[in-house]
Copies of this chain bind each other. A is one copy, B any other.
Amino acid sequence: MIIVMSAGATDQEAEAVRTQIRAHGLSPHDNVGTQRVVIAVLGDVAPVREHLMSKLNSMSGIQSVTQISRPYKLASRESHPEDTVIEVRGTRIGNGTLTIMAGPCSVENREMMLETATAVAKAGATILRGGAFKPRTSPYSFQGLGLEGLQYLAEARQATGLPVITEVMEPNLVDVVAQHADILQVGTRNMQNYSLLTAVGKAGKPVMLKRGYGATIEEWLMAAEYIISSGQPNVILCERGIRTFETYTRNTLDLTAVPLLHHLTHLPVIVDPSHATGKRWLVRPMALAAVAAGADGIMVEVHPNPDEALSDGEQSLTFDQFADMAGALRHIHDEVRTLIKDPYVSDGPINVGGDSKH
């Protein structure tokens, strides 16, 4: 349930609404980034809906009360019709510009991190990526430089001015990672690690949430709901491929998720073609396709010498390949922005689930 207060509603009127919500055993949650005061009602509304509605009907300062039909409330477009725009060190994500996140899979040492950061900054990256803590399928594989890697990332930020995004894998490390990074990344394997979602939601930094490789779009939005309801409204969604029976590619990149998410949610959507395809030569066409589908940006892996990378070398771009691709992406992005219709305006009510499949 979403309560929109009138333009001239007083603070007392808004507080009275919040008190009434709490009196029904529910939690009021103020929506961020809206001009009017908008209060979402969290919790199990169903049993008390009728009683709460009758109370609200008799209160002043309320413009409208809307039921949210989807299980994700704060993440839904219904509760927050405007696009969420996230600002990080002067860079904006989700405002119609093209976000390009680039950098090495792993921070391998100080030199390669700085060299890569300088190269991608020069070629047009807007955000710097790099893994300090690496989730690895095998306990015997290189697990990242850890804290040392975070420091090199911070140095690279200073050298280039680019904001830094890096993955955090456990609740206990959220604070230290948040001290060094500008955006916290939650990886595909942790999309439903609820204690981690809650912890990053409380850390005071924007969060990029990768889709679980076996997760539905609805579950992905529910995971975003965990973060937002923990206090962090600035969540970026990153499509990185799902698992299917196809074996020629590492994963199957689900680009239809891009316009679908723009319809269902107000959160920005980034596409990672590196992990989805697993092949360097497939990154460029899929990045172009992502932008044409309306993605707010892409995330790619770049390495000074991919063949010697400690992880994911096969899918990393060289500096030249990245620079060439970034130019092409900006060109197509500019063209496509003038062509994309408002992606969440559709004719009539839209039913996304329950279809028969053919």
Chain B residues contacting A193 (CB-CB under 8 Å) are 170, 189-190, 193, 196
- Residue A341 interfacial (CB < 8 Å): yes
Chain B residues contacting A341 (CB-CB under 8 Å) are 284
A264, closest chain B residue (CB): B248
Please, what's the 1-or-0 string for A228-249, where 1 marks a CB less than 8 Å from any CB in chain B?
0110000000000011111111
CB distance from A319 to the nearest CB of B (A): 14
Q: Report which of B141, B188, B290 forms a contact with A289, defined as CB distance below 8 A.
A: B290
* Pair B253/A282 contact, Cβ less than 8 Å: no
* Pair B137/A222 contact, Cβ less than 8 Å: yes
Chain B residues contacting A192 (CB-CB under 8 Å) are 135, 137, 189-190
Q: Report which of B212, B245, B347 forms a contact with A281, defined as CB distance below 8 A.
A: B347
Task: Categorize the interface residue count of chain A.
Answer: 35 or more
Please, what's the 1-or-0 string for A260-293, where 1 marks a CB less than 8 Å from any CB in chain B?
1001000000000001111111101110111111
- Residue A23 interfacial (CB < 8 Å): no
Chain B residues contacting A260 (CB-CB under 8 Å) are 248-249, 282
- Residue A81 interfacial (CB < 8 Å): no
Chain B residues contacting A291 (CB-CB under 8 Å) are 292
- Residue A139 interfacial (CB < 8 Å): yes
CA distance A343 to B284 in the complex (A): 10
* Pair B256/A355 contact, Cβ less than 8 Å: no
* Pair B170/A250 contact, Cβ less than 8 Å: no
CA distance A222 to B130 in the complex (A): 24
- Residue A258 interfacial (CB < 8 Å): yes
* Pair A332/B339 contact, Cβ less than 8 Å: yes
Chain B residues contacting A230 (CB-CB under 8 Å) are 139
Chain B residues contacting A245 (CB-CB under 8 Å) are 214, 216, 242-245, 357
- Residue A71 interfacial (CB < 8 Å): yes
Chain B residues contacting A356 (CB-CB under 8 Å) are 137, 218
A219, closest chain B residue (CB): B137
Please, what's the 1-or-0 string for A9-45, where 1 marks a CB less than 8 Å from any CB in chain B?
0000000000000000000000000000000001110
29 pairs of residues in contact across A and B, judged by CB atoms under 8 Å = A42-B140, A135-B192, A137-B356, A140-B229, A169-B195, A189-B194, A193-B196, A214-B243, A216-B246, A218-B356, A243-B245, A245-B245, A245-B357, A247-B353, A247-B355, A249-B352, A255-B289, A256-B282, A259-B282, A260-B282, A263-B281, A278-B358, A285-B293, A288-B292, A288-B340, A289-B293, A291-B292, A331-B339, A332-B339
Contact surface of A with B, Cβ cutoff 8 Å = 42-44, 71, 73, 135-141, 169-172, 188-190, 192-196, 212-219, 222, 225-226, 229-230, 242-256, 258-260, 263, 275-282, 284-286, 288-294, 328, 331-332, 335-336, 339-341, 343, 346-347, 350, 352-358
